Amino acid sequence: MRKLFKGILNFLSFIPCIRKYHKEWKLFGRVPFGLLHISWMHRKIRGINRGVKFPLHFTSRIIAPKNLKIHKDATTIGSFAMSGGCYFQALNGIEIGENFLFAPGVKLISSNHDFHDKSKIAEASPIKIGSNVWLGANVVILPGVEIGNNVIVGAGAVVTKSFSDNVIIGGNPAKIIKENKPDTE
């Protein structure tokens, strides 16, 4: 079976997207090939999320992908490919560290409307998310929030302010539920 699969991949390697995915297979090892194919079709053929340079679940949207800075590791790319119904609005920028894991329905919103003119975007600091962060289902992160390293955000949390490293947060608005002290030897 493995030889057959490799043979099919080698045969299809003339298609640029398949060749690219085959070279970077370590990034997509946990993502079903069908999802990679559907992601490619939505971006390249239908034009949905066309500016996104990595697999994205076909029900998710990224606004201003050029302002989204991510670390391309297997966990982060796998979350983007498999977590549906997500919305990343990066008009003021979103910066994400490595090993970023998130569940379906996550919303990262980096800007608001201007108070006096709804057609303008209010300036704000970018959203910054550290390394080894896990966002539960339906988490909403609002403009200017900075989340430190090794943070878990509980499902349904609305994060309106910044949090430091090694905490578990949750609620609406989000608050610290537990502090995780790193192991010191």
Residue 185, in any domain of the structure: no
Minimum mean pLDDT among 40-49, 90-99, 137-146, 147-156: which range?
Answer: 40-49
Whether 57 is a known active-site residue: answer no
**Active-site pick, 42, 57, 71, 113:** 113
Domain that holds residue 59: 2-179
Q: CB of 77 within 8 A of CB of 55?
A: yes
Structural domain tally of the chain? 1
167 alpha carbon, distance to own chain's centre? 20
Q: What are the tens digits of pLDDT across the range 8-40?
A: 656 555 455 555 555 555 555 567 777 777 777
3-state SS, residue 176: strand
Give the strand order in the sheet containing 101-102: 101-102, 134-135, 152-153, 167-170, 175-179
- CATH of residue 80's domain is 2.160.10.10
